[in-house]
Structures are given as structure tokens and as C-alpha cells.
Chains A and B, each alone.
Chain A
Amino acid sequence: MNTAVLITILATSVAAGAPVIYATVGEIFAERSGILNLGVEGMMLMGAVTGFIVAVKTGNPWAGVMAGMLAGGLLSLIHAFLTITLHADQVVSGLALTIFGAGLSSFVGQNYVGVQGPQFAPIHIPVLTDLPVLGPLLFNYDVLVYLSILLVPLAAYFIHHTRPGLHLRAVGEDPTTADVMGVSVARTRYIYTFVGGLLAGLGGAALSLAYTPGWTEGMSGGRGWIAIALVIFAFWEPWRAMVGAYLFGGVQALQFNLQAVGITIPTYYLNMLPYLFTILVLVFATGERMKRHLGAPAALGIPYIRGER
């Protein structure tokens, strides 16, 4: 394998990782507040289709990004209402959201399959992009990739070093205590479930407007589920989520490039790789978690009802 191929694989990993970073960090926020939202896949699909349609209609990809986020966010509010206000089962509600999002996105997107639309192209930075090796590796991405890299430290800082971040963690770990200390559990959970939806929608828009421009039915291809798995791999930490997303991107990049270098494995097996990788990652992450006594937010998935003993 020569250097050129290696660089391509690494660069593709980063590009492929971006949509997953958005979705994973979004789910980290939701789960940190104690809300398990299994609707990520549905929210990504709605984000992708809405983002693409609005971008086509307005000719402005940024309008598409906004619309995609909003679509994901709105969908997450359904989940928030069901689970926070009505105390519905989070697993069932999340699954319903995914099925709903998948169906609705293919319905509204049926006339847009194969349509050409605006997209975020890699930014050409004079001098830097033209550098050998470093250029294609570091300075040849579209703006959404850079934003995804920026999101990670911001999210990590927010969770660990700010007052709202502290309240977020407290609500997910021990809602009763948070409530007694004057933190509104319902409000906090609504906010971060919504943030999770916005970011999942953004992840979807990053697919349809940048990574694989255009709309095809079910184009997220399980990335929403992978994001949920990566949250566990990441121990609910944004930095580790980024590592996980790039590993996932790397496996995907490998899948394309193995063929390029002439290794012939049936595509079915190659297509399985990212998912196989996800399962392996979960196995190892769980083992390590047991060793280090790291756990999910203690109140994850449990409705909070004030005054219940």
C-alpha cells in the first residue's frame, strides 16, 4: 500500500467521521441528561432530506443545514414530550421515532432522489492545501468537517467546566438530588434532548450536503445506530466519541480503498465491516468500562417523577 492510498484512507476517515461525530456528540448530550434517544437514525434521515430539499429550493446550503438541524430538533421534541412529560418508555419511543423518521423522510424525499443540489465542497486554502502530505491530510475538507472537529472540544468543555454542564451531569446521574438542589430536571432534559436532535439533524445534513451530496432513501445507512454504540464506546465523553467516529470512518474508507489496491473480497463482506467493527468496539469498551468502573449516567432511561420513593 503506497503513501497516496494511505493518505486517501486517512482523509476519507476524517470526512466520513464528521456526520457521525455530530450524531454521537448529540446523543452524548441527551444521554448525559438521562434521556436515551434511539431515534438518532430517524432524526439523521429527516435532517438529511430536509436539509437537501431546502438547499435545493433556496440554492443555499447553509439554509439547508439550518433546516436539517431544525428537522432533527423537532423530531426529538416528540421523544422529549413522550418520555419527559408523559413518562413513556424511552426505548419504545426512540424506536418509534426511528421508524417514523425513516418513513417520513422517504415520503417527502421521493421527488428528490437523484436531483442535483448545492453542496459544501472542500475548501481550498491557498498554500496550505497544496502542501505535500499535510495538504490533503489536514487542509482539504469541507466546512462541516472543520465544524465537527471544533464541536468536540467545545462540547467537552461545556460538559465538564461550566455550570450548565454540571447541572446536566447531575440531572443524568441523580435527578432527585438535582431537583432538591434547585435544578429543573424536566427543563434540563428537554433542552438536551433537543440539542441531541439538532446535532443528529446536522449530522444528516452533513451527509446529504457534503459527504455524499444528494438524497437517496435510507442514506444514513445505520450511522444513527453506530452513533448510539459509539456513545458507549466513548464513555459519554466527546473526545473519545471523536476517536470512535474516525475509527468507524477509517473502516469505511478501507472498504472503498481495498478494492482500489486490488484486494478482492466480495462487497457484502466489506459492507459488513463497519458494523462488525462496532460490535467489536462495544465488546472491548464494555470490558474496559467494567475494569475502570465507568458507567452510563445512573438515571439513563429512567423517567423522573418527583416525590416517588
Chain B
Amino acid sequence: MTESNVQQSDIAVEMRDIVKRFPGVIANDHVTFIAKRGEIHALLGENGAGKSTLMNVLAGLYAPEEGEIFINGRKMTFHSPRDAIEAGVGMVHQHFRLVPTLTVVENVVLGLDEPRFKLNLEEATQKIEALAEQYGLKITPDAFIWQLSVGEQQRVEIIKALYRGAQILILDEPTAVLTPQETVELFSTLRSMAAKGHTIIFISHKLDEVTAISDRVTVLRAGKVVAVVEAKDVTKEKLAELMVGRPVIFRLEKPEVAPGQEVLRAEDLHALNNKGLPALKGVSFTVRAHEIVGVAGVSGNGQAELSEALYGLRPLQKGKIYLNGQNITKAPTREIIRQGVAQVPEDRHKEGSIGDMDLAENLILKNYRQPPISRGPVISWKYVFDFAKTLIRRFDVKAPGIHTRARLLSGGNLQKLILARELSSDPALIIAMHPTQGLDVGATESVRELLLQERSKGAAILLISEDLDEVMQLSDRILVIYEGEIMGEVPADRADRNEIGLMMAGARQETLNHHETVAA
């Protein structure tokens, strides 16, 4: 790869030969990283490649065991984030560092030495408004954080860094939580910041974004730098290969399988959301064996409620659910599980796993009641451990052992653990919600492959996802949900992005101008 000829005076950040170890792993193995003034520099790599660690070193959160950091040519030693901030380095973490019960202004001035005693929030507000104006960041200074959307909270984080005079801004996976529109806005902000001479370091594993926004890309793999490239000189495929270490298939092999018998039938489902407002307004559909039915839609249009209702977690106001012809509308969740329904929940930490339990325990959460795992009240741990070891090997969950606590797994490995548990019982129906959200290329690929394998084996799969590409790639049929109603249904082989996009925004299929009638 071409090492760009960088003028010494252009360099804003230089990290030389950084080594950072954690118990059992070298997160950064002699990493050298250079970012120029006024550029948007993407740091690309899979989960666990060492991207966040490297940037946490730059932000003063971790002290490296070896290596040197230069900011604008001056050697720096950071003992805390405070030191980094003073040197002009600000970081927007993946999990925002904002106090929900404080206002925007209060969060921005939190931890500053000035003012000494009396808070002068009016002055701070003016300064914030000036910064917001300058960088085109829409912000309400006196709103409380809990009132803000995720995108707005991210803007507060950026303002917080700018308020402290950050010249170098690190963003850790900034688009993971944003809607497509918010992503566009963020990118335009980042471009305007770069144009004003700020250096933007952008941690990501999404190739489209990296090629869209960055000037240069540093690719990390397993703690080492594998390439530094000009973004305009490389293709997405090449970047993926550099990142994963092998060629990546973007087009999944989807075997031809004829759909079988109807497994799930939902009729006229009505349910309320947590605020007591109607979330599902008459949803009807079927899913057959050997079939993946995708539900496309912008998040918050009833997807979560649909998944919960089908799984017996949310009471229905009206409507009926049949599984293999049997009415399970009022069945409790335990019974629904027993009937062969598996679920990949939206939130793998809160709903999919118990963080403080180990992998073996997490793997038997659903069948601990049944022999041979337990007989009466006694659990046969010997059997459980063998069972867990087999599953972890089969589903390629990377972990030190079956006694590791689930919370210590990376997102991809945790998702594989959940899939291992859910798929080990050979389910008749799988409800998968955002199954690859936040996962890197490698993990995404294996999750999608697992779902396709289950389809081949005869499972009926309901795939609820915000990722339209994913829905289009995996599904046999696509339903579009908007404000709790199904706007239309299209077979995947005749799916038109535009048409789906319009339905996602609330247009009904009947009203769209098209000539084909869609097979039910």
C-alpha cells in the first residue's frame, strides 16, 4: 500500500509504535497511526481489531505500555482524558457520556474548572449557540438530555468536545445509532469541521461509510496496522479483504428452496406500545416453512411490538396467532417456546442474555427444565458443560471458555451465543429482530449464513430489520411496515428499492403506480 507522502507540518496526530496489552491479549501491537490536519481519517477494522483501544489511548483513557504520541509535532504523555482535552483531543464515545437528568448546557460545562463557583449558564448557552451555528449543529441548549433523540445527543457530544477547544475529534462508530437522514447530517457536519481545519478520526467497520466520508483509511486487523490508503484509490471489496484478511462475499449464496407448509399465521393483530398508544393496527401475514419473510421499515413503526406479541410478551388487544394450525394467541411464552418458536431479540444484552451468568448458563436458559439437562429440580452440570462446549464449537463463539461471563463477549460473539441457544432446539419458527445490527462484516456474514441454513433445514423465519439490504438479500417475501400497518408485500426477486422506500414512508402499495399484481 502507498504510504502517503505527508508533510511534517501537516501532521496533527502521530502515534508511533503503540503497544497496549490487556490480560491475555495484545490489543495494539506496535501500531503507528498518522492523521493530517483537516482530513477525515477512517480507522477501519473488525470488532476486536483494536480500533477503540488505540483511540482510547489517544484520548487519554488508557496508558500505552510502549510507544509515543505527538500532537502537532509535540511529544505528549496523557495521564487522563483531561490531559488529552487540553492538548485538543476530544472523543465522542460509542456510549455517550451524558447525564440524562441534566440539561444540554449543564452537560457541556460539566467537569470544567471555570466558573469557580456560580454557574453562568447564560454565557455558556451563548457560546454553545455560537458553536452550533458555526458548524451547522442543530441543538436546544436548555433541553434535558433524556428528552433528546440519539442523533441530538450525539450533537451534544460533538459540541462538548468543540466547547473544550478540540482540534482533533475522534468519533467511535458514530453512525451505529443514527437514522439514514441523521447520518447524512452528521457527515455534512464532519465535512464542515474538516474544512475548518479540524482533524476527524472516524472509527467504523461499515465500508460504505468509510468510502463515502473519509480522505484516508487506516485498516487494523488483530491489533496491527495492515494498510494505510487513500480512500479514493480503493474499492469496498479491497477494504473488506484488508479488514477481514480474506475475500468477502457480498452476495450470499441463497439456495433455491420451495416453501413448505404454513407455520405462522397472524390475523389482524392489534397491540399497544409501552406508552399505551396503538402500535399494531391490524397486522396480518403468514410465514411458511423453508421461507424467510422480511419485515422492512423504519425503526419504531411497531416492529418491536410485533416481535413481542408473537412471542407472548405483549398482550394483544385483538387478533389471532396460529402456529402450525394451533391457536397460540393466549399461550404464555414458556408454552410458545415449547412449541418450537425461537427468538433473536432486538437487544442482545438486555433481552438476549444474562450478562453476569456464564456462557454455559446462558445456553440453557430456555431448556434447563427438560431432560437430559435436568431431572426434577437437579441440573446435570456435567451434561450442560458438554452441551455448551459442543455448541460453542459448532457456532464458533470466540471466548476463553464456557465459564466466561456473557457480558464480556463482543457483540458478534454474543449474537452467535444467542443464535446457538435459539437454534440448538431446531425451531419451527425463528423471529429474528435486527440480527446483525452493530456486528462487523465477519460476524454479519456468519449470522446471515446461519439463518439461511435454518431456512434450508425447514424453519420458517420472520426477519425484522432496519437494514434494507439485509432484508432484500435474505428474504423470500418482503412486508413493509409503517405506523403499525403492513403497507404492502413484494416477492424478493421482484423487489424494487424505490417502491419499498415509498412504502416505508407511508405510501400504500395499491396507490403506487405499478403494473404487476403481487402474488399473495
Contact = CB atoms under 8 A, between A and B. Distances in A.
Interface of A: 161-167, 169-170, 173-174, 176-178, 180-183, 298, 309
B460 to A, nearest CB: 36
B180 interface: no
Given A169-B101, A298-B101, A162 B407 contact: no
Contacts of A182: 80-82, 111
Contacts, number: 59
B245 interface: no
Query: 9 smallest A-B Cβ distances: which pairs?
Result: A181-B111, A182-B111, A174-B99, A177-B97, A182-B82, A181-B110, A173-B99, A180-B97, A170-B99
Nearest to B160: A181
B382 interface: no
B99 A178 contact: yes
A163 B115 contact: yes
19 contacts: A161-B118, A162-B117, A163-B109, A163-B116, A163-B118, A173-B100, A174-B98, A174-B99, A177-B97, A177-B98, A177-B110, A180-B61, A181-B111, A182-B80, A182-B82, A182-B111, A183-B110, A183-B111, A309-B407
Contacts of B115: 163
Interface in B108-166: 109-112, 115-119
Contacts of A173: 99-102
B291 interface: no
Main secondary structure, interface of B, reads loop
B106 interface: yes
A161 B119 contact: yes
A39 to B, nearest CB: 26
B518 to A, nearest CB: 45
Contacts of B102: 166, 169-170, 173
B188 to A, nearest CB: 28
Nearest to B98: A177
Contacts of B407: 309
Nearest to A171: B99
Interface in B462-510: none
A79 B464 CA distance: 50
Most A Cβ at <10 Å: residue of B97, B98, B106: B97
A181 B107 CA distance: 9
B93 to A, nearest CB: 8
A166 B119 contact: yes
A176 B93 CA distance: 12
A260 to B, nearest CB: 46
Given A163-B112, A181-B110, 14 more contacts: A163-B115, A163-B117, A164-B117, A166-B102, A166-B106, A173-B99, A174-B99, A176-B97, A177-B110, A178-B99, A181-B111, A182-B80, A183-B110, A298-B101
Contacts of A176: 97
Contacts of B99: 169-170, 173-174, 177-178
A183 B109 CA distance: 12
Contacts of A166: 102, 106, 109-110, 119
